[in-house]
Structure 1
Amino acid sequence: MPSPLNTLKTKIFVLEDDLWYSQFLSYHLSLDTTHEVRAFSSANEFLHSLSEAPDIITLDYHLPGFDGEMILSRILEASPNTYIIVISGQEDISKAVNTIKQGAYDYIVKSEETKERLWSIVEKIKQHIALKREIEALRKEVNQNLSIGNEIVGSSEPIQKVLKLIQKAASDDINLMITGETGTGKEFTARAIHRRSSRAKKPFVAVNISAIPSELLESELYGHEKGAFTGATNLHIGKFEEAHGGTLFLDEIGEMDIHLQCKLLRILQERKVTRIGANTSFTVDVRVVAATNLNLLDEVRKGNFREDLYYRLLGLQIHLPPLRERGHDLLLIAQKVLQTYCQQRDIPAKSLTANAQKKLLKHNFPGNIRELKAVVELAAVLSDTAYITPEDIQLNESQPAPFSEEKTLDEYIADTVQKYLDKYNYNVLCVADKLKIGKSTIYRMIRKKEVYMASRK
């Protein structure tokens, strides 16, 4: 009976110069429909087929004109993960011991019991193969989880949704759009996806659109030929060409000049790039990941961003939540930053005191993870002990002037309630009394995630 552990075909090669015996072995092994059996009578043909990496080989040790040890050695060299069962017409104990020492899995003497013995050995090998496949699958899953866990820290509901999307994004080659406020880790996320994707061994190339003057951006992205324009003294390879086979990360895509967007759209559609000054184009295989802290649909409505380019880039969208919406993730990230900083500087490990943690939780962190990282690293420098205290934490407490931003009335109300919650240690009754509103109003805003509570742990 086929083993329940086998879900994939087991590829078996039979090398036997006796035609009748070869058919005998092949027939019995083929009774299991999970076996893919192929018989060889010629050693040369067999050796040329080893590149197919069979799972199991039954080997006639006494082929005319060929040395058994030589063939066994060639098999082990060409296909080291293959299980070899030596079948011989001679009951030679010393030869059996030597072949197993050399690397064969087992040794069978041709007899009336060969069929049953072979079947039993093959079943054991199939169990080994199934177990190896299961271990490899588990190892791959663990490595993937560790990869994400080491890069993106957090257990909050918003970030768990992001992690699930990252897993989907890594398993597909669809274009990506990563959105979120400045400092939420958009490039970090793009790199995490690239490292777990099928393109991981190819380049990850990042371009910050807002950091490159418009008149230079075209050359930076697509490259130029020598002499293409004044100052083009050498051939320049563009970022699309540099990222061939891998991932191109276009950060702050919303800042691209409207006149340059048309060419980008054409390249994304045709997957062909022409360097400035060149007459011919070449194909590029690139996965594009775009990122922005703007609402691109608003930019489309304002005429600042092409609608057709927006939908071409959109693909799978991943929105990164701001740090203020991630609760105690803030402390997990802070401790991770602190641990990494101490290791890199080769200084004794430090930890945050309870009061230091409270101070961090009360801050809004408009700069998100980037701001938190800077604050924690500075605190590590200022601290003279193994502990980070509130005095070591330097925060920018300056707030924008009231009504300096265009917001809806509901947004201004939510901001006011949030500030009072932060100020009065998230005491809903106290805040309701101070603002002269019902506590049910505040609880409703919390449920709708218009304002957020922080634990007093």
Structure 2
Amino acid sequence: MLKYHLQLNPDDEVFLYSTAKDCLAELFKNPDIICIDFGLPDMKGDELFRKIKNSRPDLPIIVISGQENITVAIDFLKQGAKDYIVKNEHTKDLLWNSIIRLRENISLKQEVEVLKEELEKKYSFEKTIIGQSEGIKNIFSKINKAIKSNINVSITGETGTGKEVVAKAIHYNSARKNKPFIAVNMAAIPKELVESEFFGHEKGAFTGAADRASGKFEQANGGTIFLDEIAELDLNIQSKLLRALQEREITRVGGNQKIKLDVRVITATHKNLAQEVKKGNFREDLYYRIVGLPIELPPLRDRDQDTLILAKHFIEAFSKENKIKPLALSADARKKLLAYNFPGNIRELKSVIDLACVMCDTSEITAEDINFYAIEKDSESFLGEQKTLKQYTSDIILHFLKKNNNDVIKTAKVLDIGKSTIYNLINTVDIKKKTK
């Protein structure tokens, strides 16, 4: 009956055992909570309690018993039981409430452990920003300058280059490392909710504001706020953000109380903010307020051998997470990775490597295991690349050859060119390299 009642919560997975022996044999499943009966067919409840505690000292245990003996209950609680519930008509409700309280405590403990782990890592540059190229060494130099002061920092770079990783490296190596790091993605917040998200709101400030809520800036007080995709911020909110940064204080939506701010601002965008200012999409005064120390992250294609260094790192991480032996990269796999442009940068590389680890059937990843997530480029980005006419022609022919499964006749018909033109290009060095 209790198992059925507890399974009504879809977030819980419940296992029921009729003997203490069965329970002890399955402790390897690492349960979050154990509930034991005092009277068991093969072992007394207090003996089972001690065995579990010896094996898992921090595991929360609830004891259920038909005995209303207060001495027994006190003894269990002294030994570390989280609750002692007497069997009666209220047992299932008492147990339900006890588990809810324990789950909240477990959740808080896990959050604290994550924060401790992040602080202990200290975001050492060598462990979190992987690479040895000149471009990355330049980033290390900029980060070292940033952590020595409270100057605002603006991080630019293509999508997937690791802007949030750099922001965390700055925060967790600065004097603010023991204070909050709050990340806000501008692109993910509806513009009508941004002001409340930034500055919080008072109860009744708008429909649905049932209680007072603190905003991201208030939550980040004393620490760092990371405003990702800052270029997406609505012009109306830009003026309010500028005022908050200038006056170093905020007011919750619907309130009058001034809240003093001590927050470092780190912004990030994949767009050119100076160009956005020229287009009228971003306030010039806010631009100068947030630009501070600019850090431009290089795309992966400009980082030389860092692609292979990162690939090795991702292979090791995947192997560890999935408890498999570390895989090696074959020569043809390395060549294929280095030849690819990686428009999605580090994020794309990680996805490619994760898939390659899954597809690999031996101890070595081959070129066949590596599949790229090709996204068609628009004409503006395609023509924006500096190439010769011959190179553009080769790229176009190669694209349609792949699309038509290397059918020369079909490709020639689609492009309205002679077959000999395609055959001549196929025999050139550039095409040979790309079609291998």
- Which residue in 2 is equivalent to 1:282? 259
- Give 1:338-377 correspondences, 5 Å limit: 338-377=315-354
- Which residue in 2 is equivalent to 1:181? 158
* Aligned mates of 1:196, 1:418 — CA distance in 2: 49
Quick one: which amino acid aligns to residue 269 of structure 2?
T
* 1:159 corresponds to 2:136: yes
* Aligned mates of 2:159, 2:390 — CA distance in 1: 19
- Give 1:198-347 correspondences, 5 Å limit: 198-347=175-324
Provide Cα deviations, 1:108-151, integer angstroms capped at 9, x if missing partner.
xxxxxxxxxxxxxxxxxxxxxxxxxxxxxxxxxxx999811001
Quick one: which amino acid aligns to residue 302 of structure 2?
E
* Aligned mates of 1:323, 1:356 — CA distance in 2: 17
- Does the 8 Å CA contact 2:201/2:209 hold for their aligned counterparts? yes
Quick one: which amino acid aligns to residue 237 of structure 2?
L
- Which residue in 2 is equivalent to 1:85? none
Aligned length: 284
User: Could you state the TM-score of these two structures normalised by the residue count of structure 2?
Assistant: 0.61
* 1:411 corresponds to 2:386: yes
| Structure-2 change in CA distance of 1:413 and 1:206 (3 Å) | farther
Quick one: which amino acid aligns to residue 187 of structure 1?
E
User: Could you state the TM-score of these two structures normalised by the residue count of structure 1?
Assistant: 0.58
- Which residue in 2 is equivalent to 1:105? none
Say which SS state the counterpart of residue 158 (structure 2) adopts: coil
* Aligned mates of 1:161, 1:145 — CA distance in 2: 20
Say which SS state the counterpart of residue 194 (structure 2) adopts: helix
**Shift of residue 386, structure 1, vs aligned partner:** 2.1
- Give 1:38-57 correspondences, 5 Å limit: none
**Shift of residue 405, structure 1, vs aligned partner:** 3.7
- Does the 8 Å CA contact 2:123/2:169 hold for their aligned counterparts? no
Provide Cα deviations, 1:19-66, integer angstroms capped at 9, x if missing partner.
xxxxxxxxxxxxxxxxxxxxxxxxxxxxxxxxxxxxxxxxxxxxxxxx
Q: Which runs of 5+ in 2 are unaligned?
A: 1-119, 399-423, 426-436
* Aligned mates of 1:280, 1:419 — CA distance in 2: 65
| Structure-2 change in CA distance of 1:166 and 1:310 (3 Å) | same
* Aligned mates of 1:230, 1:418 — CA distance in 2: 58
- Which residue in 1 is equivalent to 2:38? none
Identical residues among aligned pairs (%): 51
| Structure-2 change in CA distance of 1:146 and 1:210 (3 Å) | closer
Quick one: which amino acid aligns to residue 339 of structure 1?
E
- Does the 8 Å CA contact 2:123/2:168 hold for their aligned counterparts? no
Quick one: which amino acid aligns to residue 156 of structure 2?
T
* Aligned mates of 1:285, 1:146 — CA distance in 2: 22
Provide Cα deviations, 1:342-379, integer angstroms capped at 9, x if missing partner.
11222221121111111111111000000001111111
- Which residue in 2 is equivalent to 1:381? 358
* 1:150 corresponds to 2:130: no
| Structure-2 change in CA distance of 1:187 and 1:235 (3 Å) | same
Provide Cα deviations, 1:207-239, integer angstroms capped at 9, x if missing partner.
000111100111111111111111001111110
Quick one: which amino acid aligns to residue 233 of structure 1?
A
| Structure-2 change in CA distance of 1:405 and 1:417 (3 Å) | closer
- Does the 8 Å CA contact 1:144/1:196 hold for their aligned counterparts? no
Quick one: which amino acid aligns to residue 172 of structure 2?
R
- Does the 8 Å CA contact 2:123/2:172 hold for their aligned counterparts? no
| Structure-2 change in CA distance of 1:285 and 1:389 (3 Å) | same
* Aligned mates of 2:126, 2:392 — CA distance in 1: 34
Provide Cα deviations, 1:188-223, integer angstroms capped at 9, x if missing partner.
110111111111111111000011110011111111
* Aligned mates of 1:237, 1:244 — CA distance in 2: 11
Say which SS state the counterpart of residue 182 (structure 1) adopts: coil
* Aligned mates of 1:222, 1:145 — CA distance in 2: 29
**Shift of residue 415, structure 1, vs aligned partner:** 11
* Aligned mates of 1:414, 1:163 — CA distance in 2: 38
Quick one: which amino acid aligns to residue 286 of structure 1?
V
* Aligned mates of 1:261, 1:146 — CA distance in 2: 31
Q: CA RMSD in A?
A: 2.9
Say which SS state the counterpart of residue 171 (structure 1) adopts: coil
Of the two, which has the highest radius of gyration? 1
Quick one: which amino acid aligns to residue 323 of structure 2?
D
**Shift of residue 397, structure 1, vs aligned partner:** 3.9
- Does the 8 Å CA contact 2:315/2:357 hold for their aligned counterparts? yes
| Structure-2 change in CA distance of 1:310 and 1:155 (3 Å) | same
* Aligned mates of 2:320, 2:356 — CA distance in 1: 15
Say which SS state the counterpart of residue 141 (structure 2) adopts: helix
**Shift of residue 416, structure 1, vs aligned partner:** 3.7
* Aligned mates of 2:282, 2:311 — CA distance in 1: 37
* Aligned mates of 1:269, 1:404 — CA distance in 2: 38
**Shift of residue 325, structure 1, vs aligned partner:** 0.4
